[in-house]
Amino acid sequence: MMTLKADRKYLVMVAGLMWCGVGIMLMTFAEAWLGRYTGRYVYLFYLAGFLAAMPIHLFGFLKLADRNIERLKEITEKTSVFSFITVKSYFTIIFMVALGITLRHSSIPKQYLSVVYNGIGLGLFLSGMRYIRCFVKLAFISNH
């Protein structure tokens, strides 16, 4: 059986692209919902999502990203591309996807749900940029 293997710097890049991509996807959902919203205070929903993103990024995802980056930097030889996250994290992702699907199909008004999606999406995107910055350092700046 052939296993796709990659160097640690590429695992960091894959993780960053995944985090940023999922963040963009969530913000796209929120934008679509708010684009159809005809209320006078639509910008308050954008602002609330942005304000929610800051603590989500700083106190949640950034710490998780930093721990994962440190784990990836300790890898010394090529390993499976799927090891850019831990097995435990795969279960967390499955739970989060299921929760997202449940929320999208719930009766919660989409303009309120957009706050959650923008907050988590922007938090993921900003934290994903930490991976990208680390990849650039590993690939182009550091000699080890």
Domain extent, residue 10, equals 5-37+46-77+86-141
pLDDT at 142: 73
What pLDDT, on the 0 to 100 scale, is given for residue 141? 87
Strands 5-6 and 79-80: antiparallel
Return the HEC string of 127-144.
Answer: HHHHHHHHHHHHHHHCCC
pLDDT along the chain (144 residues), means of 10: 86 96 98 91 95 96 95 92 89 94 95 97 97 94 69
Domains identified in the chain, total number = 1
